Structure 1
Amino acid sequence: MNRFLSNATNRIDAKGRVSVPALFRSVLVQRGVQELYCLQDLVFPAISVGGPDLLERYERQIAAADPFSPEANRMSLLVHGGGVFMRLDAEGRLMVTDFIRDFTGIGTDVTFVGRSDHFQLWQPQAFHEAQAAAREGRLSMSRPQ
């Protein structure tokens, strides 16, 4: 498997670290990812985490626009100004920094959410609410009018 699937919630330790789920770590290894690009999600109160290819995907989109356009400038502000590089420690833990906490509202637990080519860090209740809203939205689309 080379995709990030499913979700799992782990507790942050006393030093502010959280263990990345083993399945997610194995995908990172398969993809050869050593440095993680972490981005404040553009829609949800979550941090998107992937390899350098995640950043490159956003940069290709920015490069396709007129570099002086308001849209390219807004995207750069979000992608570059709202992103950082991080690394897992030797035990597969990620430091839950103020950058992550301030944007997501994460307290003592982190929900890891697979998003195919990357994963996200969520405050657990916010994830459950967003998932329920997405499910309800899909259900309402399939109901006869």
Structure 2
Amino acid sequence: MSVANRFLSNATNRIDAKGRVSVPSVFRSVLARTATEELYVYQDFVFPAISVAGPEVLDRFERMIGLQDPFSPEANKMSLLIHGGGVFMKLDGEGRLMMTDFIRDFTGITDRVTFAGRGDHFQLWEPSAFETMQQQARKERMRGTPPPA
């Protein structure tokens, strides 16, 4: 992955009266450079956030499932998460994303949304939940908590 094709930083934007929010220009630039038009939008597996990526991320998840016995509990749970907890969306012509019930119900987002870069994808957070989680992660790192293996 090229350095220029990573989602980095964070920004908080207001949701308009029609339920749309402008995706930060730095994130739209990455989508344009990677020619990503259709977005795979899924409920994060760890955080109360919605993850947004190109369809290649869904392909990667499906390859992981394909390596398992299709009838195994693990494969079925993963399918439940990636298929049952995901949708495809597109930005409108002005680079806005619709804040649907799928997004709002999972995150608690109301009138503002924080966009957080995560390398190969970005996330949508309720702003105070993002701030709390980022502060918690920073405190744990400063205390010397070892990274997960």
* Structure 2 residue runs without a partner (length 5+): none
Among candidates 68, 77, 81, match of residue 65 of structure 1: 68
Partners of 1:107 and 1:52 in 2: how far apart? 27
Q: Cα offset for 1:142?
A: 5.7
- RMSD of the alignment, in Å? 1.1
Runs of 4+ displaced beyond 6 Å: none
* Structure 1 residue runs without a partner (length 5+): none
Among candidates 52, 55, 58, match of residue 55 of structure 1: 58
Letter in 1 for 2:35: G
The alignment's TM-score, normalised by the length of structure 2, stands at: 0.93
Q: Cα offset for 1:101?
A: 0.1
The within-5 A match list for 1:113-132 is 113-132=116-135
**Counterpart of 2:61 in 1: which secondary structure?**
helix
What is the percentage of aligned positions where both structures have the same residue?
69
Question: Are 2:8 and 1:9 aligned?
Answer: no
The alignment's TM-score, normalised by the length of structure 1, stands at: 0.96
Show CA shifts across 1:34-88 (max 9, x none). Answer: 0000000000000000110111111111111111110110000000000000000
Specify the alignment match of 1:140 in structure 2: 143
Specify the alignment match of 2:104 in structure 1: 101
**Counterpart of 1:131 in 2: which secondary structure?**
helix
**Counterpart of 1:32 in 2: which secondary structure?**
coil
